């Protein structure tokens, strides 16, 4: 039986998702091919974007806490002075004033 036909029409959506997750979790191809009856070549072509090496990314978010005590979040009234705002914050405020 053709691997493409088996993948599309015989395997369920749940099976296809499991294959996808197994490849992401670096389960050996031999185990996947034996379990689902697909060839290594077919899986490599079908999931090529998952098999290739990926590069980790970082969003570089804020690491330091805003408050010393985490229980203070939402309890303190924040006050800002016009002089303490940056140019981009001032422009944003002026452009979005109603």
Instruction: Write the pLDDT tens digit of every residue in 5-42.
Output: 888 899 898 998 899 888 888 889 899 999 999 998 88
Place of tokens 């072509």: 45
77 has pLDDT over 80 = no
- Whole-number Å distance between alpha carbons of 39 and 41: 5
- Whole-number Å distance between alpha carbons of 36 and 12: 11
Percent of the chain residues past pLDDT 90, beyond the cut: 10
Average the pLDDT over 60-80 and give the result.
66
**C-alpha angle 35/49/33, rounded to 5°?**
15
């Amino acid at each position: 039986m053709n691997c493409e036909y088996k993948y599309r029409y015989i395997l369920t959506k749940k099976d296809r998702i499991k294959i996808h997750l197994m490849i992401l979790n670096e389960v050996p191809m031999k185990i996947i091919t034996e379990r689902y009856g697909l060839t290594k070549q077919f899986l490599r072509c079908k999931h090529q974007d998952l098999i290739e090496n990926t590069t980790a990314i970082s969003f570089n978010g804020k690491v330091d806490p805003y408050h010393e005590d985490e229980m203070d979040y939402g309890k303190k009234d924040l006050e800002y002075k016009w002089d303490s705002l940056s140019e981009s914050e001032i422009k944003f405020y002026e452009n979005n004033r109603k």
